[in-house]
Amino acid sequence: MTVRTVTEPTEEPDRSTVSTGWLAGLGTLFGMGALAASSCCALPVALVGLGATGTVLGGLSLLTNLRPFLLGGGVLALLVAWGLLVRSRATACALHGPCTEPSSRWRTVVLLGSGTLLVGLALVWGPHIEPLLLRAMRG
């Protein structure tokens, strides 16, 4: 006679949330770098006012050369992360009935939102925001 034990299926962690959070962080990091690279005048003046040295300003000039790659990487990472987040939410709702929000999902949404804001700000910084800041510094 054979005895079989019945085990409950273990729930696997939601891998899409993990990858989405990682991509959101990457997009936010790229957004911060792109924003720093977008500022040719106002940010260095503010940093010198705070006591930054030439080494910090040299790092900003390096970021200026990387700006297109930072913006492209940030936009790509954020688009993929938003897509994964929406897809995982739709899949969870279809499989499990009423949708419940995992506790880590709000952190991912906040990170995605801040990354999107930073990348968007980096895109409009040079042509629109920096001239206004420079006029305000002079006046």
Amino acid identity at 80: V
Choice between 6 and 48, residue whose per-residue pLDDT is larger: 48
pTM for the structure as a whole: 0.70
C-alpha distances (whole Å) from 38 to each of 15, 44, 61, 62, 96 are: 34, 11, 10, 11, 45
Q: Residue 107: what pLDDT?
A: 86
pLDDT at 73 over 60: yes
The stretch 70-92 carries a mean pLDDT of 86
Q: Residue 21: what pLDDT?
A: 83
Q: Residue 18: what pLDDT?
A: 54
Q: In the chain, how many H helices and how many E strands? A: 5, 0
Q: Residue 16: what pLDDT?
A: 46
Q: Which two tokens stand for residue 63?
A: 């970021």
Q: For 83-124, what is each residue's pLDDT tens digit?
A: 988 887 766 666 665 665 555 678 888 999 999 999 999 889
Q: For 19-64, what is each residue's pLDDT tens digit?
A: 788 888 899 899 888 888 877 777 777 777 787 777 777 777 778 8
Amino acid identity at 113: G
Are the C-beta atoms of 119 and 78 separated by less than 8 Å? Answer: yes
